[in-house]
C-alpha cells in the first residue's frame, strides 16, 4: 500500500515532514516573497518549520535565496520574521 501523505523538506533544518506541518514561502508572479499559509498561491515555493531555530538557520546560510532563485536582502528577512513570529 502506498503512503498518500505528501512530504517536504524544511530548508532550515533539512528534516522531512508532512506538507501540512510546514509553512510555505513563495515567490509569486510579481516577484513578491510572501508566506503562503494556505499553500495555494502559484509560484516557486520553499518550506520551513514553524520555529525560530529553522528560520535563523535559513537566514544565516541564505538558503531562501537558492530555493527561490532570487536575491533576498536583510530587510525582507526582517519583514518575514515579523510576519511569521508576530502572528497569533
CATH number for the domain spanning 44: value is 3.30.1230.10
Give the C-alpha separation, 40 to 51, whole Å: 21
What is the reported pLDDT for 1? Answer: 47
Please indicate, yes or no, if residue 72 is contained in any of the structural domains: yes
Please indicate, yes or no, if residue 56 is contained in any of the structural domains: yes
What is the reported pLDDT for 86? Answer: 84
Please indicate, yes or no, if residue 29 is contained in any of the structural domains: yes
Q: Position of cell 532570487?
A: 70
Q: How high is the mean pLDDT in each 10-residue block of the chain (88 residues)?
A: 78 95 95 93 95 95 95 93 81
Please indicate, yes or no, if residue 33 is contained in any of the structural domains: yes
What is the reported pLDDT for 87? Answer: 65
What is the reported pLDDT for 2? Answer: 58
Could you write out the DSSP letters of every residue in 19-80? Answer: GGGSEEEEE-TT--EEEETTS---SEEEEE-SSHHHHHHHHHTTHHHHHHTS---HHHHHHH
Could you give the number of structural domains in the chain?
1
Which range marks the domain in which residue 59 is found?
Answer: 7-86
What is the reported pLDDT for 85? Answer: 85
pTM listed for this prediction = 0.88
Please indicate, yes or no, if residue 77 is contained in any of the structural domains: yes
Please indicate, yes or no, if residue 49 is contained in any of the structural domains: yes
Amino acid at each position: 500500500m502506498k503512503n498518500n501523505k505528501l512530504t517536504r523538506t524544511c530548508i532550515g533544518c533539512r528534516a522531512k515532514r508532512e506538507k501540512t506541518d510546514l509553512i510555505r514561502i513563495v515567490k509569486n508572479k510579481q516577484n513578491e516573497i510572501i508566506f503562503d499559509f494556505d499553500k495555494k498561491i502559484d509560484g516557486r515555493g520553499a518550506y520551513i518549520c514553524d520555529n525560530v531555530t529553522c528560520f535563523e538557520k535559513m537566514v544565516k546560510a541564505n538558503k531562501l535565496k537558492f530555493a527561490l532563485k532570487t536575491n533576498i536582502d536583510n530587510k525582507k528577512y526582517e519583514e518575514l520574521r515579523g510576519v511569521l513570529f508576530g502572528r497569533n
